[in-house]
Structure 1
Amino acid sequence: MARVSHLLLLLSILSYIAGTAKSAATTRGGATAFIKSSCSATTYPAVCVQSLSAYGSAIQQNPRQLTQTALSVSLSKAQSTKTFVTKLSHFKNLKTKEYEAIKDCLDEVGDSADRLSRSIQELKNFGKAKGQDFLWHMSNVETWVSAALTDENTCIDGFAGKALDGKVKASIKTQVVNLAQVTSNALSLVNSYASKH
C-alpha cells in the first residue's frame, strides 16, 4: 500500500513538473510572438528582436514592460558605449582631430545615457496615470528618448570627413550605430505604447 501511495505521489509530482514546464514554454512562446510582433513596427526589427528576446519572461505580453525593457536595454548599451569611447580617448598617438571628435562623442553619449535614464524613471514613476496626466508623462519620455537619439547621431556626425578615417572612427561608429539602432527601436516602442492609451 505504501508503495502505491509513493508511486501516486511521484506521478503527481511528475505531472505537476510537466504541466509547469509546458506552461512556461507556452508563456515563453507567447512572449516571443509578442516581442516579434511589436518589433515588426520598428525601424530595425531584427535588432529589436535580438536585443529583447532574452527578456521574454519579464516582458510576457505586457506593452508597458516591453517599453520599459527596451529603454533599459538602450541605457545599458549607452553606458557600455560610453565606457568603450572613454577607453579610446586614452589611446596614444591620436590625432588632434580624432581626440576632439572622441571627446565630443563622449559628451554626446553621456547626455544620451542621462536622457535614457530620465525616461526610464519617468515611465516607472507615473504608474497608473490616465488622460492628460498620462499624455504629459509620455510626452516627456518621447522627448528624452528622441533627444538621446539625436545625441547619438551627433556623435557619429562628429567623425565625418576623410581626415578622421581609420580604426578609431570605424570602431566608434560600429558601437554608436548599434546604440542608435537600439534607441530608435525603443523610441518606436515608446511611441506605440503612447498611441494605445
Structure 2
Amino acid sequence: MAYHYTLPLLLLSLSLWCIPGNSNTTAPVAATSFIRAKCLTTTYPSVCIQSLSAYGKTIQKSPKQLAQTALSVSLNRTQSTRVFVTKLNKFRGLKSREYAAIRDCLEVMSDSVDRLSNSIQELKNLGRASGPGWFWHISNVQTWVSAALTDASTCADGFAGRALNGRIKWSIKTRMTNVAQVTSNALALINQFAGKY
C-alpha cells in the first residue's frame, strides 16, 4: 500500500531537478545577448536559453565555453535522470515490461554519461591540439554527443506502446525528452564552434 503514496512523492520531488540554479544571476548583458543569439540557431532555442542563461559569467562571449557549458548541462541532466530511473527500478509492483524497459534505459543512460563525460574532456583537450589533431578531437566530441542523443531516444522508445501507459512512462519520457533537447542543443553549439575552424 505504501507504494501508491511513495511513487507520486518521488516523482514530485525529483521533478524539481530541471529548475535552473542561480549560479550567475548577474550575468553581463553582452554575455546574455551572446547566449540568446547562439541559442536561436539551435533546435530548441527556449530550452537552450533557459538552461544556459544562468552561466553567463562563465560563458562570456566564448563559443568554446558555450559549447563546454552546454555539454555540462547535458551531462548533469543525464546523470539526474539516471538517478531517477535507478530509484524507480527499486519499486515493487511495477509490471515486468516496466522493469525490462527501466533496465534497458539504465544501460543506455550509463553509456550516455560516459560519452558526455568523454566529450567534455575531449573538448578541453582542444586547447593543446592544432591542425589535424584539432579536427580529430572535435570529431570525437561530435560522434559521442550524437551517440548520447541516440541513447536518449532509445530509452524513451523503450516505453512506447499501450502496455506501458501510466506514471512511470510519463515521468521517464518527460525527463528523456528534456535530456534529448539539451543534448541536441549542445551538439548544435558544438557544430557551430567547429564550423569556425
Q: What is the TM-score with the length of structure 1 in the denominator?
A: 0.85
Unaligned runs of 5+ residues in structure 1 are 1-24
CA displacement, residues 82-115 of structure 1 (integer Å, 9 cap, x when unaligned): 0000011111100000000011011111111110
State the identity as a percent. Answer: 62
The AA in structure 1 aligned to 2:122 is E
Match of 2:82 in 1: 82
Deviation at 1:194, TM superposition (A): 0.5
Counterpart amino acid of 1:166? G
The CA deviation at 1:133 is 1.4
Equivalent residue, structure 1, for 2:34: 34
In proportion to residue count, which structure has more helix? 1
Structure-1 residue corresponding to 2:65: 65
SS in 1 for 2:129: coil
Match status 1:142 vs 2:142 = yes
Counterpart of 1:157 in structure 2 is: 157
Aligned position for 1:167: 167
CA distance in 2, matches of 1:50, 1:88: 27
Provide the residue aligned with 2:117 in structure 1: 117
1:17 counterpart residue number? none
Q: Which position in structure 1 is the counterpart of 2:95?
A: 95
4+ residue runs over 2 A deviation = 128-131
> C-alpha distance in 1, partners of 2:153/2:112?
10
SS in 1 for 2:102: helix
- For residues 121 and 179 of structure 1, the distance between their equivalents in structure 2, rounded to whole angstroms, comes to 20
Is the 8 Å Cα contact of residues 27 and 54 (structure 2) preserved in structure 1?
no
Task: Provide the alpha-carbon RMSD of the alignment.
Answer: 1.4
User: How far did 1:26 drift?
Assistant: 10
Shift of 1:132: 1.6
SS of the residue corresponding to residue 185 of structure 2 reads: helix
For structure 2, the residue ranges without an aligned partner over 5 or more in a row are 1-24
Q: Does the 8 Å CA contact 2:67/2:193 hold for their aligned counterparts?
A: yes
Alpha-carbon separation, structure 1, partners of 2:52 and 2:171: 24
**CA radius of gyration, larger in:** 1
Matches of 1:71 and 1:36, distance apart in 2: 17
TM-score (norm 2): 0.85
